[in-house]
Structure formats: structure tokens, C-alpha cells
Structure 1
């Protein structure tokens, strides 16, 4: 038996849990003065009531499903699927969903459920890497900061839907230029079908305000194609483009010219934060009720729009373009890379939200099937969104004469805030369909934002629970106000440049870095078999061999490959009409993107310095569970206290045990 087992793990079984029992009682401000035989049970019930629990499994399922089904499934997946072989793309997509996305999601659910703490405090099983929790909280914090801009835009579009005339359909507004052409004029123009407009290039020019852009960093909340070219070779732009460009974002000439604050965006931001704070004002007690609406409403809205879309001319052509398989694409590595990236970022692991949401589960909940259904619903929703999007794009292509592959070249805000408003304005009762569409976007965005905001605030509360746990409402309100104030720069004329720069660097590299070290900590330092033992304490289920292989070997390999491909394919950000970010802006973006990683490394170094002994002893102690690591269930702690885990004598035997488990363990 190695030194690590002899020196550390006997104490891990006893000292760790003894201290953890004391810590959890103090952390939750509980008085265990009940001398009755059921005192431990009542203490446990008091603990769970104090921090909060989901009222039932359905609330948890709806919460994580709503978080998982983000905006990327609406404005990115359909286009990625279309350009990567249509229906053939679903093969690598579901392959990675099953072999990587789902298993990683389940790992985080189990980690949060075992600790009963938010992501910021969930990594005490490996003190040297407990900064991972802080990294994940910082990721949620930074992405929440700029993602709220999308919700503010959507709120303003929804407000505009209630005007007597949809403002993006006309050219007689104060923001329009002399180059403006009304959507209805372009849509119904006879010239689109005669010789003066023949050729893809000229037709594309008419819609240049909605059919261009360059790819952005890909993530669960990525902006996709944020760029929109201001003018085209024919010297005209559509009213929908000008509404977006000159009214909604009122874009300046660059990051160096931030301009002034846009009042309509400030109001939209404020309303967005009012709804967000109200939803989580009492933690899961209020959020659990809100998700009944926000997690289910998108499917209602999508289905209504889909049914109407099927009745439109060209809808079947759009669906055929989306689904028609091109199996030759599967022979190119980029398709498989795109599928892996889409799965990884669409599910949203390693942001801390999954861990935080699952920390409100009851300790003995069997969460395997809830997680499986959530992952399956995420895959289905992405596919369903693709069908809805392409029925509308097929209608647009059919009625305007624009080739469908040109229409389908756009994603991100250009698709959602220019192309879709154009299409919806030409449908019967356009106000109704516009309201339904933007209401759907709001509910989709809210679920992701709820989860991230709860991740940030619960990390603060769990860090100082004795002082703050009874002031959750005040913490949420103060947090919302701080976010609102910090987001005011995004309401300025140059806010879109700031937002794209943040999205470019915040939401990719640090997430992959977090995922890799999360798997390293759980599966290689703590041990897959030991983590499986912890899961058995919770659920009574053994972790099968296949899942162990995915956690220990497959997913770390995939994450490493994706990370290096990201590094190889890196390019500096730019905006659509030729704006190039300065070297100073790029350096600032890179630095801010590295801040979460720097904090994680700094926490590890600080922890290493505080440990006692030689460097080797500190390293061994830092890779062993701290005295704070223990299950949060009071009854299970007593059992955990008596049954210390002993590692095999050699690293090879440890590896084999991590993969195989006990002799009774099944492969599936």
C-alpha cells in the first residue's frame, strides 16, 4: 500500500467526517440539542429546509432542462446541422451526446447532490484543485454579465410588437437612412424575379443586412454570428436591418467610440433583472415554481409556430434542406469536431450551474434517469428547433427567390433579430407571430440566466452561510442591482463591440480548461471507483463499467482534442463591416478570459503553501480529501464515518479498479 493510503485515508474516513458534521451544523446555524433518538433525523430535516430543496423531482428536471436548452439551440444548431451534412450530422451529434455530454452531465449532478453545496465549495475532495469551483462561478458571473444583453434586446423587440405598425417593416422612422427599403417592398418586388435581380450575388446584396457575418467562439451561450454588414454593393439596406443596426443597438464606429447610454436598453435591462431576481428571490422555493412556466412555454410557442410554418409555401423545401443527409461530410474531421463542440457547449457542463442545481436534490434521489431525460430532451429540442427554423427559412427562400443555402448561412443575432422579424412580418397577423416568437426567446433565455444567477448568489451564501442564509432575498436583490449597474456599458453605442469581445474570450477556453481539470480531479486524483462508491451511498446504484470508461478515458480525451483544435483555429475577433479590434482590446480580452484560470491556479498555490510538511507530503495531502469533504446527509455521515476507503497498492491496480469496479459490476 502506498504512502498516500497509510498517511491520509484513515483520517479521511474519520477526521474528515467528524469535522464535516460539525461544519455543516455550524454552517447552517443549527442547534442540535435534541436528546431524543430521532435527533439526527430532525437535524437533517432542519438542514435541508434551511438551505432549500426542490419540492419534487419534476422541479429539478424542469430547472436543468430549461438551463440546458439555451439560445444556441435556436440560433446555432440548425445552421451547423445544415452545413455539416444535414441529417447525416445527427450521427456524430448523438454519438457525442451519448458518449460524452450525458456522462459528464451525470457526473456533475452526482457531485452537487453528494455535497449539498454550490459549485464554489464542491471540490474539497481535492484541495489543490478546489479553485475549480471558483473558476466555474466566475464563468457563470462573466457570461451572465453579457448574456443579459440578449435578453434586453429581446424585451425591446417584444415591446415593439405591440405598436400599431411593426417598426422594422417601414422606412419612415427617425433612425432610417435614405438607403432604406421597406421589407414589404423588397419582399414583393417583381424585380427579384426578373433579369435585373438574377444571380445569387445581387439577390444577396438586397438582404446583406441579414445574410453575413463571421463565426464567433462557440459556446452554450455564444453569439454565433454577431456581425452584420452595414451596407452592400447595391447601396441599399432593409428596414429590418436598419431597425436592428440604428435603433436597437445604435452601433457606433468602434470600441474606441462607446457613445452614450441608450435609454430603451437601460429600461429593457432593468425589466430583465426584475424578472430574473423575482424568479430566484427565495432560491429554489420560488425558482421551482417559475420553471413550470419558463421550461415548458418554449415548447408550446415552438409548436404553434411550427404548425403555422408547415402551412407556408416552401416549408417542405426548408425541412428537406435541413434533413437531407450528405454522408460524404462524415469523412471530414471538421464535422465531427463541430458535433463534439455543439454537444459540449449546448449542454452547459463545467459552468457550475448543474452542480448548484443538483445540490438542492434530496440526498437519496435517484437522479440517473432525470439526467438521462434532460440530455435526451436537449438533443430533441435542438433537432426540433432546426425543423421550426428551416420551415420559416424555406418560406422566405420560396417567396423572395433567395437561394435557401444563402438564407441558411446566417446564425446568431443576425438570424434572430433581422431574418426572423423579416419573415414573421410577412406572415398573416404578423404581430401575433412576432409576439409568440420573442416570448419564446425570452423564456428560453430566462432559464439559462436563472441558473447562472443562482450559481453566483448561492456561492456567496454557501461561503458565509451563518451570516447570509437567512438573508437570501436581500442577497439576490443586491446581486441583481450590482449586475445591472455593471451592465450599463453594454447599453452604450459601442456595447455590441464590448459584448462580442467578451463572448470571444470568456466562454470557450476557460470552460474547456475547467472540464479537463474537473475530470482529472474526480477520476484520476480522487478516483472513479471512490466517486462511484459515493454515488452508491446516495442512490444505491452501482456505476457501470461503460460509464466509468467514459469518465476516466473517453471524455478527457475528447476535451483535450477540442481544446487543442480551438488553439489551432484561433483568430482575432473582428466586426462585420471591416472593423478590427485594436491590439490593446485583444490583449485585454485575452487577459479577462484568463482571469478565472489565474484565480484557480492562485487558489491552488495558496492552498499548497498553507499545507504542512515537505513538498511531496503537501502534494499528497493536497490531492486527498480535506476535512470538509463529506456527504451532506446526516444519517449517511455516520456510515461514511465508519467505512474509510482504501486504495489498491499500485497505480495500475487503482486504474483497473476505477475502470472495472467490483466483480459484481455490470458493463452497462
Structure 2
């Protein structure tokens, strides 16, 4: 069944049941019921009063009558029904209905006071049917072959290019070693809680980042914003993989092509030379090779971005082809590739780390990286940098974590996996910083430069494709080997993140178009991604990359994170989520998780978001100002994603409208009856678990404020 077909109306009155029986041709309640099965369940269009209400068959209402099993089709009245009339019981039918105990089997006599379970009862016979024959839901939703594949996929997603080239430069620019303090604090109060949250709701519901918002339908725009943000990042991320593959191929040449100058380059200093510091006005051959040969970069894009470069186009095609091969069978293929994508980079990192720390001058570079500037800790920009780095590094609020967790079986310990990945990610960032600055320290030593800032460059792509290759070219022993290892590692890290981003977009599309086979959807997505990616392999492509990253990356992801926490903890409810976790994992979230989720995490993110709005300067690339059209395009891109949230809220209010505005708001934001575990029998057990828990807590819930306080501290007595 599709998501719309999963909505089961929770009938609250046996009189309505009787009315439906009569109008569906099953006779009145006194005539005796007809036994039927799931496959031929009755579908009808009952009328209430003088109004004919056309209903869409979507769910099943089962009960026993005179020892006969009756399965009645119940309908989604959200789009087709008269809500008020459908929700009312029929008094005449109530009077006609005979709820005497002898009319029901022994197994169901205790269902409720009328002898009928009016809350979507699933009988023992139906449970046997569920267990003996896989449902369409479980057939459609594949799962990982084993939980390790999920863990490896999360590692491959979170440990990416941002750890290698972004973290070291961000740390250097924001206090060096002192940056680790705000970074770790932000990791603890935002990174870990958000990571755990997304894996929990993904696994609990077995739904992607869009459909998971059955927990609060009006907030579905958050999921679409995350998917759109993932597509923005994916569009340029693969072009960076293409650059890595290009440099990887060039690394096999007997002489590294960026290590020597070409005749037409003025004021060029060969990167292969040692002991020759770069004078003012001069540039290294590594920099000129990247700018003039690889990118053929324009000085500005006032007159356009140019045509795609053929060699980078080939590299881009190969990059997309690799990603396609990995995702062509969904998690069945990507899960196997995750072992290599997660483990291989660490092997290379260890090799490069050992080599880096043994190079002459490496100690100076590492000391420069770790030396703290304590005064920077009190600066807001440093805390903003820590938040954005945590989001970028962990891949939270990109939709990928929810998507991966949705393919888990119901009881995988995502708490353990979340703690492993977030801790490992931080460790990887630290190791990458030590390795990078160790090599840059050696570069400064080779050039007889005392100030290491002279060899750092501008960070980002410049660090990966200029500073690092420049340092490798000066290595006395087999520089080609270390170049191959470095760029192969970079390509693998990029592919790991690219697979996650594409899988996120693919899963949303597959759930929207379930009849399209995954291999065809993957082919369509990769083809579209390749065509869009051509703009990044033009001479003006780096300008576009910076523009999309600036407007479509951090800002949108941070906004989606804020609305995600509001939707889950302030609307769906902190206590509801904690009960879901307790039912699924058998763990009661501690006060640390509760306080972070409900207060600390959203408040800090809102503050950081406001800081970004107030302080963000006009975007430039290499000191070059963009044309006005570029800024307009960037703002359209950014606010399209942001606008999805309020637009879906308005749509939800319209869709669930009733006569009373307050009731409309409640219905628009209230969780759908279909939300919960995907397997129907487990869903029924969960509903009963929640009913029992909430019933036992009623005596303690004397006021709304007391309920909030008890939810925050986990103060409800165990029951």
C-alpha cells in the first residue's frame, strides 16, 4: 500500500460500525455478519444523512461477530469524505446493534465495554495471516543484509571530504587548538542529539526524510527542503570527485605534471624545487597547473561561464558512472560497497599520518595547528563555524541518515551506532588536521619559510589541489605513490558521501513513483546529475560551485534542522518520541537527551541562524564580486528550500480544514494514524504500549506544566 493507502481511521463508536455494515451490504448487526478476508475486503460508499460520501479504500477494520471473522475496508476521508459526519456515530444504528457477549468469540470479549475493539483491532487470525504471508509493505521495503552495512554506510557518509580539507582550515581560522573546545561542545549538544534523532525516526517509521513527516503532516516541507538541499550539494560534490579522479590519473605519470613550470607561465616557481621560497608576485607550479591547466579558470563570469572542458567532462562522467554502479540495486548493492568506502580511507589516512609526522618540519606544522588562541573562544564567529562544521561533517539534516536508518530492521541499536559514528568522525577530523598540517610544516621547512601561513593558501579546494600537491611534489621518495594514495582516498571519501546524497534523492523519488524500478530511477537521477554537473566543469565552474555551496548548502540545512527539531519535539512531542525509543530499543532516554532535544539544540540553532542572517557578507570568490544575476539566482535557490516549509504548512491547513480553526490546526499537525512501525502487528503492539503508558501516567499529569517538566527530566515513574 502507498502512504495514502495506509491511513486507517480509528473508529470510536460501535454504532458507526453497525452503520457501515448495513450500508456495505453486510446487513444490519442483527442479520449476522459475512466472513471475508483481506484480499476481498468489502469496499463501499456509505452515506451519512442526506450526503453521499465517496471514500477511498485504504485500511481494514476487523472484528468478530457470531464467531465469524469480519474484515471491513475503512477509508481515507481526508480528501474524499465529509469529516464531521464521518466522525459521528449513528444513534439509530447504536440502538439496533446488539452487543451481547454471546455474539463474539472468547478471544475478543474483553476488547471493550461493547464487545468490540473500536481502535482498529487486529485479531489473532489476522496476526497469523500477517506472519504467514509477507505484506506488500514489507515486500516493497528492502532492508540491509546485516546491521554492519548500516554502520559502514553511516561512516562512509559522515566521514567525507569535509573532514580532510574543511576541518583543518576551519580550525586554523578559528583559534587553532582552541577551536576544538567549541567544536566538541557543539558536537555534544547539537551533533550527537541530531544524529541520534534522525536514525531513530528513520528506523522507527521505515520511511524517508519526506514520508517520515506522517508524524506531523503539516511539517512535511522540512523533508522536501532536506531532499532539495541534498540535490544541491550532490550537484557540485560529484564535480569535486571528478577533480580527484583527474589528479589520480595524472599521479601515475613518471613526472608529476604539477611539479614543473610550463614555458608560458611567468613568475612560476617549480613545486619540485626545495629551498626556494616563493617571492611576492610569484606562484607555485602546483597553483598555476590547477588554475591554468585543470580548471582553465576565468577571472570572472561577467561574460558567462564557458563550455565544459572535455577532460573534466570525462572525469565527471566516470564519477557518476561509479556512483550509479553502487546504487543500481539500492541498499543491496550500496551496502556491500560501504565496507570498502568506509574502511579503505582509514588505511590510507594511517599511512599518510605516519609519513607526515616523520617528515622534517612536521612538528612545527602540527604545533601551529594545535596551538590555541584562547581569545577566539568568546567570539560568536567561532561558535558559528563550529556549528556549520558539525553539520557539514556529520551530514545531519541532509536526509541521508533518515534514509539509511529506514532500511534497518526495527530493533537495531541505533543509539550505539550513532555514538560510534559521531565519535569516529571527530577523531578522523583531528587526525586529518594533524596529517595536513604536518605536511604543510614540511613544505614550509623545504621552502625555508618560518611563517607557515605563507604555505597554507585559502583552504578548501586550494588546500586539496594546490597546497597538498605542492608538498607531495617535494617529497624525495616516490612522490607518485603518495599522490596516488591521497587522491584515491579523496575520491573514495567523495564517492561515499555522493552515494548517500543520491540515495536520499532516489528514495524520495522511488516512494513517489513506486512502479519505477530502482535501476531505472538511478539511471535517470545519475543522468540528470551529470547534465547539471556540466556547469561545474566549465572555466567559470568554480564560481558556480561556490555560489551553490553558499546559498544551497549550510543555510538551508540549518533552517531544516530548526524546523525538524520543532516538528519532532515541540509538535509531535518529546514524551511521544521517548516512548517510541523505549518501545523500539528498550532504552529510556536520559535527561541529557531530553534537555538537548527540547531546549538546548533548537535554541542554539535558532541563535546561530539569526547570527548568520545578520552578519553574512556578500559572497565573493577569490575577491571577485559576482554579477547581480548570480546573487538573484542564489537567493532564489536558497529561499525556494526555505519556502517549502511554510507552503506545506498552509497546504496542510487547507487539506485538513474544518469549521473550527483550532481543530484544523490540531488535525494538520497531529500524527497520522498510519505513523508508526511499518509492520502492522508491531504497530498495534506499539499503540497498545503507548496507551498503557499514558494511562498509567494520568495521575501524575495534573497540569500541562507538570507534564512538560516530567517529560524534560524523565520524571514519570516507571510502569
Same fold (TM over 0.5): yes
**How far did residue 51 of structure 1 move?**
2.1
Matched, 1:405 2:453: yes
**How far did residue 35 of structure 1 move?**
7.1
Q: Deviations over 1:133-186 (max 9, x none)?
A: 11111111111011111111111111111223211112237xx4334332224x
Matched, 1:461 2:529: no
Structure 1 equivalent of residue 657 of structure 2: 612
> SS in structure 1 opposite 2:210?
helix
Structure 2 equivalent of residue 140 of structure 1: 230
Q: Deviations over 1:383-402 (max 9, x none)?
A: 11111111101101111123
May I ask how many residue pairs the two structures share in their alignment?
A: 601
Equivalences for residues 286-305 of structure 1 within 5 A: 286-305=333-352
Would the alpha carbon gap of residues 93 and 20 (structure 1) be closer, same or farther in structure 2, given more than 3 Å must change?
A: farther
- The 1-side partners of 2:595 and 2:324 are apart by 41
Would the alpha carbon gap of residues 355 and 314 (structure 1) be closer, same or farther in structure 2, given more than 3 Å must change?
A: same
> SS in structure 2 opposite 1:259?
coil
Segments ≥4 residues shifted beyond 6 Å: 8-15, 20-23, 34-37
Equivalences for residues 188-203 of structure 1 within 5 A: 188-189=275-276, 192=277, 203=278
Structure 2 equivalent of residue 655 of structure 1: 708
Would the alpha carbon gap of residues 135 and 649 (structure 1) be closer, same or farther in structure 2, given more than 3 Å must change?
A: farther
Structure 1 equivalent of residue 493 of structure 2: 444
Aligned Cα root-mean-square deviation (Å):
2.8
Matched, 1:65 2:127: no
- The 2-side partners of 1:36 and 1:610 are apart by 33
> SS in structure 1 opposite 2:272?
helix
Structure 2 equivalent of residue 114 of structure 1: 204
Equivalences for residues 467-482 of structure 1 within 5 A: 467-468=515-516, 471-482=517-528
The answer (yes or no) to whether the contact 2:200–2:405 under 8 Å persists in 1 is yes
> SS in structure 1 opposite 2:613?
helix
Aligned counterpart in structure 1 of residue 433 of structure 2, from 378, 386, 393? 386
Structure 2 equivalent of residue 628 of structure 1: 674
The answer (yes or no) to whether the contact 1:12–1:625 under 8 Å persists in 2 is no
- The 2-side partners of 1:246 and 1:11 are apart by 70
- The 2-side partners of 1:51 and 1:96 are apart by 35
Q: Deviations over 1:32-87 (max 9, x none)?
A: 9x979643234458744542211222111111111111211111211232343333
The answer (yes or no) to whether the contact 2:144–2:408 under 8 Å persists in 1 is yes
Q: Normalising by the residue count of structure 1, what TM-score does the alignment of the two structures yield?
A: 0.85
- The 1-side partners of 2:715 and 2:158 are apart by 33
- The 1-side partners of 2:529 and 2:593 are apart by 39
- The 2-side partners of 1:141 and 1:90 are apart by 30
The answer (yes or no) to whether the contact 1:13–1:643 under 8 Å persists in 2 is no
The answer (yes or no) to whether the contact 1:113–1:359 under 8 Å persists in 2 is yes
Equivalences for residues 158-307 of structure 1 within 5 A: 158-172=248-262, 176-185=264-273, 187-189=274-276, 192=277, 203=278, 206=279, 234=281, 236-255=282-301, 256-307=303-354
Matched, 1:567 2:613: yes
Would the alpha carbon gap of residues 573 and 326 (structure 1) be closer, same or farther in structure 2, given more than 3 Å must change?
A: closer
Would the alpha carbon gap of residues 73 and 496 (structure 1) be closer, same or farther in structure 2, given more than 3 Å must change?
A: same
> SS in structure 2 opposite 1:478?
helix
* Structure in which a larger fraction of residues adopt helix: 1
Matched, 1:431 2:431: no
Matched, 1:640 2:693: no
- The 1-side partners of 2:261 and 2:173 are apart by 34
- Select between 119-128 and 431-440 the one with higher mean Cα deviation: 119-128
- The 2-side partners of 1:456 and 1:425 are apart by 39
The answer (yes or no) to whether the contact 1:123–1:129 under 8 Å persists in 2 is yes
Q: Structure 2: which 5+ residue stretches go unaligned? A: 1-7, 18-56, 62-72, 77-121
Q: Deviations over 1:556-601 (max 9, x none)?
A: 011011101111221111121x421122211111111111122332
- The 2-side partners of 1:346 and 1:160 are apart by 28
- The 2-side partners of 1:518 and 1:76 are apart by 26
Would the alpha carbon gap of residues 554 and 448 (structure 1) be closer, same or farther in structure 2, given more than 3 Å must change?
A: same
Structure 1 equivalent of residue 357 of structure 2: 310
- The 2-side partners of 1:21 and 1:644 are apart by 21
The answer (yes or no) to whether the contact 2:261–2:269 under 8 Å persists in 1 is yes
Equivalences for residues 325-404 of structure 1 within 5 A: 325-402=372-449, 403-404=451-452
**How far did residue 632 of structure 1 move?**
1.1
Q: Structure 1: which 5+ residue stretches go unaligned? A: 1-7, 27-31, 193-202, 207-232
- Select the structure with the greater relative contact order (CA < 8 A; seq sep ≥ 6): 1
> SS in structure 1 opposite 2:608?
helix
The answer (yes or no) to whether the contact 2:284–2:470 under 8 Å persists in 1 is no
**How far did residue 284 of structure 1 move?**
0.8
The answer (yes or no) to whether the contact 1:542–1:665 under 8 Å persists in 2 is no
- The 1-side partners of 2:455 and 2:380 are apart by 25
The answer (yes or no) to whether the contact 1:19–1:628 under 8 Å persists in 2 is no
Would the alpha carbon gap of residues 621 and 239 (structure 1) be closer, same or farther in structure 2, given more than 3 Å must change?
A: same
Matched, 1:75 2:165: yes
The answer (yes or no) to whether the contact 1:301–1:436 under 8 Å persists in 2 is yes
**How far did residue 344 of structure 1 move?**
3.1
> SS in structure 1 opposite 2:254?
coil
The answer (yes or no) to whether the contact 2:127–2:681 under 8 Å persists in 1 is no
The answer (yes or no) to whether the contact 1:127–1:622 under 8 Å persists in 2 is yes
Matched, 1:319 2:366: yes
> SS in structure 2 opposite 1:295?
helix
Aligned counterpart in structure 2 of residue 421 of structure 1, from 437, 452, 469? 469
- The 1-side partners of 2:542 and 2:716 are apart by 57
Structure 1 equivalent of residue 109 of structure 2: none
- The 1-side partners of 2:441 and 2:489 are apart by 20
Structure 2 equivalent of residue 584 of structure 1: 629
Would the alpha carbon gap of residues 9 and 324 (structure 1) be closer, same or farther in structure 2, given more than 3 Å must change?
A: farther
**How far did residue 242 of structure 1 move?**
1.5
- The 2-side partners of 1:665 and 1:299 are apart by 43
Q: Deviations over 1:271-312 (max 9, x none)?
A: 000100111111111111101101111111111111112221
- The 2-side partners of 1:287 and 1:163 are apart by 32
**How far did residue 548 of structure 1 move?**
0.6
- The 2-side partners of 1:560 and 1:595 are apart by 19
Equivalences for residues 27-46 of structure 1 within 5 A: 38-43=128-133
- Select between 320-329 and 493-502 the one with higher mean Cα deviation: 320-329
- The 2-side partners of 1:37 and 1:435 are apart by 57
**How far did residue 627 of structure 1 move?**
3.3
**How far did residue 500 of structure 1 move?**
1.2
> SS in structure 2 opposite 1:533?
helix
Would the alpha carbon gap of residues 398 and 552 (structure 1) be closer, same or farther in structure 2, given more than 3 Å must change?
A: same
- The 1-side partners of 2:523 and 2:141 are apart by 18
Would the alpha carbon gap of residues 562 and 13 (structure 1) be closer, same or farther in structure 2, given more than 3 Å must change?
A: farther
The answer (yes or no) to whether the contact 1:87–1:323 under 8 Å persists in 2 is yes
Larger Rg: 2
Q: Deviations over 1:579-638 (max 9, x none)?
A: 211222111111111111223322222221121313222111111012332211333112
The answer (yes or no) to whether the contact 2:320–2:526 under 8 Å persists in 1 is yes
Would the alpha carbon gap of residues 84 and 510 (structure 1) be closer, same or farther in structure 2, given more than 3 Å must change?
A: closer
